[in-house]
Structure 1
């Protein structure tokens, strides 16, 4: 079941690649694995994965007490879109990534200032006042008693954002109060946008999973040349915005549904982490030949920094 226009384009391209000899069940299965995104924030609706039998079933988050609790994302355009967890990753221990946060619509993000979260543009609604997002911070385990929750008050989304595959996929969220937690800086320039980076999230650990994870997972992924990535997605009918994207992944390792908005990071020589990218989109999860696509922060650094400063400023009484 196609969930959005981008999914329709990708699914149609994939069906073409499968060839006329593919069986009807195989084609249905291909169509039922949409692009990995989260569309967000005007009103809360149950997040529903696509199923081969044509039924919509609520996506459920696995909890420590064994109970399934319905994860309810917010959608900006009224459409059901799947959000992007780390396939082939490891469980993060407490304190390893203290600046990573979870957003209530099912996306990830990072604390880039005590009162500001950086996430993907497709995870939130339009720029303006917004008190509908709840942020969970301070722990890799969403059920931990140490978890801190705080509501949003305002959002600034990239002015050029249209949809995740068109680029400009970033946004910042102002929180109702400052958090006494570590923050992470965005990358200072584009000089280190190639190499092996760390990605993370609470989403699915397999494309076919019906549950997202309560514990943060992370993995290392190498970057892929833009030309190779663009060629792969061109076959599926999507044009990669090369100068705004980082493609990364390897066999069996990728981000997946539930990771949208989360960080791609690298560690500097002095031990500090800096954020290089934002989980944006991809076809399926860890499919050979189709790599994860991340917003290239260095291309938007001035605008992101300006938005962070604006939301961090204390209003004059």
Structure 2
């Protein structure tokens, strides 16, 4: 199809504008220095709806939609989560739902919440389950599109991260995971700020485990994600206030243990695959290009 020159310019301008609207938080998160004794592990209850890309990846059943993992909205037709959250279930998209716009993970009646059916589950072709997850990412293609609101927004994906995911920088992680190792999940969304751990140090903590190409380490004793947080976002705000997701919660030894930070899937490793799988609807952006 041939577009008139003006139409082409308008089309690409609109596309660029749409890409730039990710990473916004109409309800500002509480980023104060208060450290809670309650746990995500080591975090606090989030300001309701202040992490508007956070989703519940859940199994659909007679009694609603039970939490399996976290995830993030990256486009009105796409969600990203960890590969191990969908491993073995890629042929059963109708068994799952994506719940967005909620503060309580078990909610069925929050104002503005949306529960969306899944069209397809795209597990990364290099995914390895054992001994620990590698290439741990999956894209969820939605059957119906997300309607963006003040409670529901997409997060941005970075095209580069070398100056961000290093000590002494930190990131924020969110989820409804267990509040202690092998404990009960949190009914309300929680958040915690975790420090990055450089690969050489992380390799000492996890001998012969860390693949720097596809993994990021972050966290310390008493500050960590836990069971049920898998697939959720690890985000950093760039200088102009836009939020970028640098990692997905993947695995770790226990929860918030000394010398065992959390391991996150490194988003920049997947930019080409994400663009290809989404037919270029989702593309990584330079987080410093503002």
* Distance in 1 separating the partners of 2:223 and 2:278: 31
Q: Work out whether 1:87 is the aligned partner of 2:64.
A: no
Distance in 2 between residues matched to 1:225 and 1:129, nearest whole Å: 38
Q: d(CA) in 2 for partners of 1:257 and 1:129? A: 23
SS of residue in 2 equivalent to 1:154: strand
CA distances 1:145-199 after superposition (whole Å, capped 9, x unpaired): 2222112110111100011625210010011200112111111212322220001
Any idea what the Cα deviations from partners look like across 1:244-273, whole Å, max 9, x if unmatched? Answer: 111110221100000000000001112111
Deviation per CA, 1:228-250: give whole Å up to 9, x if none: 1111122xxx5222221111102
Structure with a larger share of its residues in helix: 1
CA-based RMSD: 1.9
The separation in 2 between residues aligned to 1:310 and 1:158, in whole angstroms, is 16
| Residues 10-53 of structure 1: CA deviation (Å, up to 9, x unaligned) | xxxxxxxxxxxxxxxxxxxxxxxxxxxxxxxxxxxxxxxxxxxx
CA–CA separation in structure 2 for the residues paired with 1:224 and 1:306: 31
In the TM superposition, residue 138 of structure 1 has moved relative to its aligned partner by 0.6
What is residue 119 of structure 1 aligned with on the other side?
A: 81
Deviation at 1:300, TM superposition (A): 1.5
SS of the aligned residue for 2:201 comes to: helix
Q: Distance in 2 between matches of 1:98 and 1:205?
A: 21
1:183 aligns with 2:154: yes
Q: Note if contact 1:107-1:259 (Cα within 8 Å) is conserved in structure 2.
A: yes
Structure 1 regions of 5+ residues with no counterpart? 1-84, 313-317
Q: 1:99-114 alignment to 2 at 5 Å?
A: 99-105=53-59, 106-114=68-76
Work out whether residues 206 and 285 of structure 1, in 8 Å CA contact, stay in contact via their aligned partners in 2.
Answer: yes
Q: 1:150 aligns with which of 109, 116, 133?
A: 116
| TM-score normalised per structure 2 | 0.73
Matched, 1:220 2:196: no
Corresponding residue SS for 1:229? helix
The whole-number CA distance in structure 2 between the counterparts of 1:129 and 1:121 is 14
Alignment of 1:53-92 (within 5 A): 86-92=40-46
Would the alpha carbon gap of residues 173 and 310 (structure 1) be closer, same or farther in structure 2, given more than 3 Å must change? farther
- Alignment correspondent of 2:180: 206
Give distance in 2, aligned partners of 1:185 and 1:129: 28
Task: Check whether the contact 1:233–1:240 (CA below 8 A) recurs between aligned residues.
Answer: yes
Distance in 1 between residues matched to 2:75 and 2:114, nearest whole Å: 16
d(CA) in 2 for partners of 1:188 and 1:128?
A: 30
The one of 86, 96, 99 equivalent to 1:133 is: 96
Of the three residues 224, 228, 239, the one matched with 2:209 is 239
Number of aligned pairs? 224
User: Scaled by the length of structure 1, what TM-score is found?
Assistant: 0.67
Is the CA contact (8 Å cut-off) linking 1:117 and 1:173 kept in structure 2? yes
Cα distance in structure 1, aligned partners of 2:206 and 2:140: 30
SS at match of 1:302: helix
